[in-house]
Structure 1
Amino acid sequence: MVDKRIYVASVSSSDVHGFSKQTKDHIQLLTGLGVEGDAHMGVTVKHRSRVAVDPTQPNLRQVHIIHEELFEELAGKGFSIAPGDMGENISTRGVDLLSLPQGTRLHIGEEAIVEVTGLRNPCKQIDDFQKGLLHAVLDKDADGGLVRRAGIMGIVSQGGRVQRDDAIRVELPPLPHIKLERV
């Protein structure tokens, strides 16, 4: 029997700026800030490369979400990826995150809502973690455009506790839908 549920597969956070995050029993999302205690939590941007450009820009990358199915695909290519390894806060199962439009609201668990802002733009650090991984999470579409497959980013619209096996409900924004771009 095929599992048709959409749910949280794992949660992770880290209080230091590093590539990977430690898996947790649960995380607490804070409205307008991100994951409580995570190094990327805040109203303004926290990713070091973006802080260097303009530390006052809004933090559209409060929560990093990856579909767990990507880990399995990468394993088939010889990579060993565990939850939290790619720096995600939440891994999901059962939803095609990369096809969601900008502004999609993910209702997670009892209370939390994350609004999707865009695609994660994988950087050189991903190859430092495992050589060749950057190439493995990038692709080309039929028109030759770059396809980023390393997850999506979002902001916390409503806080709440998130843990493994929490249900996820996808709420699409009104039409016309805007395709996700890197943030």
Structure 2
Amino acid sequence: MGAIVTAVSSSASHSFGKRNQLSIRLLAGLGVAGDAHAGETVKHRSRVAKDPTQPNLRQVHLIHGELHDELNAAGFNVGAGEMGENITTRGIDLLGLPEGARLHIGDAATIEVTGLRNPCVQIDRFRKGMMKAVLGRDAQGNLVRKSGVMGIVLAGGDVSPGDAIRVELPDGPHRPLACV
């Protein structure tokens, strides 16, 4: 089985979790239609407070469903959309993608990966102790943030569970993802 979308979610409010939908519409340069985080400039409240004119590099949030498996095995009860992601995937190493990787989803949509989601205190408010579970260390002792990746919409289109995902890597030397 190749990489696929397993769930899509959105929320018109700045709630932590997002409700599962039958499909979402991605809008080029904006994000998910009707989602509180859609827009050309930043929409996350902490970033708006610092500088509301910054470009929105966090239009779409993706989490690998394998993280939900890991968290559920550790005793946390977590489902698709509950960690604020718009798109839940399976069969793709989202965290291992380089900056600028493009995800072609379904028939038309394309997302460019801009960076990692930095887990925040809201994760512990959602499930006590879960912040520690979404942070880890690699073999060299470097911090690993597991709570998904962020991206911008290059080409719009409808995205639904079951849609295939094709990865296009950028040219040149690849830069590892940093928090955005």
Query: Which amino acid in structure 1 is aligned with residue 157 of structure 2?
Result: G
TM-score scaled to structure 2, two decimals?
Answer: 0.99
In structure 2, distance between residues paired with 1:47 and 1:144: 30
Is 1:114 paired with 2:111?
A: yes
Deviations 1:57-87 (A, max 9, x none): 0000000000001100111100000111000
Query: Which amino acid in structure 2 is aligned with residue 177 of structure 1?
Result: H
In structure 2, distance between residues paired with 1:73 and 1:142: 19
Deviation at 1:141, TM superposition (A): 1.9
The match for 1:162 is 159
In structure 2, distance between residues paired with 1:165 and 1:5: 11
- How many residue pairs match? The answer is 180
Structure 1 unaligned regions, length at least 5 = none
The match for 1:97 is 94
Is 1:61 paired with 2:58?
A: yes
Query: Which amino acid in structure 2 is aligned with residue 98 of structure 1?
Result: L
Deviation at 1:30, TM superposition (A): 0.1
Deviations 1:66-125 (A, max 9, x none): 000110011110000011100000000100000000000000000000000000001000
Deviation at 1:144, TM superposition (A): 2.3
Question: Could you say what the CA RMSD is over the residues aligned between the two structures, in angstroms?
Answer: 0.6
In structure 1, distance between residues paired with 2:99 and 2:144: 16
What's the secondary structure of 1:46's corresponding residue?
coil
Structure 2 unaligned regions, length at least 5 = none
Query: Which amino acid in structure 2 is aligned with residue 9 of structure 1?
Result: T
